[in-house]
Structure 1
Amino acid sequence: MSRSELVFNKVNRLLELFMIIIFALLVLDVLFQVFSRYILGTSFTWTEEFARFSLIWMTILGAAYLNGKREHLSMDFLYQKFSDTNKRKASILIEVLVFLFALIIMVIGGLNLVYTTLHLEQLSGTLRIPLGYVYAIMPFSGFLIMCFSIYHISNIYKNKINN
């Protein structure tokens, strides 16, 4: 196993663990909200906001994770009709487009959003945490997607990825 494969596997394992933790916290948060509302007769406003932020983080990290594992949703009816050479070309083109999307929208746009919200000192409504910290998941996941795209392109050139 090459060094890049070891790093790739470790990053994916860390992402899995982090998403498991986020999901566990989300479940506990929602269970606590239900318990407090129906058993204690009181409702805590912070639980809804925490659940929303957890779901945002899990969704965006999940997109990066699935991109890394090449298990994201795709429609490949036309792709399957290509010859092997055209499949390789299409795969490289797709990875380049994914890389550019992650760079422009997620990293550059995400960093701009994080900077703006931190500079304006915007706080979340209930938890009173800076929204820039919540939005920081966007450039982080975009960076991961970019790294995964580079990894996939190198594997396509090495012919390790089945088209």
Structure 2
Amino acid sequence: MISVLNKVTENILVGVFFVMTLSVVWQVMSRYLFNISASWTEELARFCLMWLAVLGAAYITGKRGHIEIDYFFDKFSPSQKRRLDYFVETLILIFAVVILIIGGAYLMYMTFYLEQKSPALQVPLGLVYCILPISGALMVVYTIDYMKQIKNINYSINES
């Protein structure tokens, strides 16, 4: 299931990056070749960048590629490493649920309720912000999956 989730997320990220690239290229071309400034391209690129950042963070969480400082971690015993790993994953889980899922869903709800639309594209901002709870849910799935694997990890003292 995780591999399918990774593949779908990768494809969405590539698609969003492609749309953002086309938007920026069109903005530059229209401005310098045709002397026309299309305001919607800047807004679309900004929304794509937001989606790339938030969805990319969830994807990196699943790939275990986020930044970590392991200087002190390597000095712990294997049982301490396992406990610390659980603690860090619990913090990630709390962040994903409270900030991304609950906070993101509330932001999404409020923008739909207030019928806010983006100035240039006129899309409901709730659609733009829907990536927050989606990414939060992905982080929860990835984190729970990793927490199930922690008990099988060999935390040897000489591990580098």
What TM-score, normalized to structure 2? 0.94
Q: 1:136 pairs with 126, 130, 134, which one?
A: 130
Matched with 2:87 is 93
Matched with 1:42 is 36
| Per-residue deviation, 1:161 | 8.6
Give the CA RMSD over aligned residues: 1.5
Q: Check if 1:79 corresponds to 2:76.
A: no
What TM-score, normalized to structure 1? 0.93
Q: Which runs of 5+ in 1 are unaligned?
A: 1-6
Which structure 2 residues correspond to residues 1-163 of structure 1 after superposition, within 5 A? 7-159=1-153
**Preserved CA contact (<8 Å) 1:60 1:138:** yes
How far apart, in 2, do the equivalents of 1:28 and 1:77 lie?
42
Instruction: Letter of the 1:109 partner, please give it.
Output: G
**Preserved CA contact (<8 Å) 1:26 1:51:** yes
**Preserved CA contact (<8 Å) 2:54 2:132:** yes
Higher mean C-alpha deviation, range 80-89 or range 152-161: 152-161
**Preserved CA contact (<8 Å) 2:82 2:155:** no
Q: Which runs of 5+ in 2 are unaligned?
A: none
Q: Would you identify which runs of 4 or more consecutive aligned residues in structure 1 move more than 3 Å? A: 160-163
How far apart, in 1, do the equivalents of 2:155 and 2:117 lie?
44
Matched with 1:4 is none
**Preserved CA contact (<8 Å) 1:92 1:156:** yes
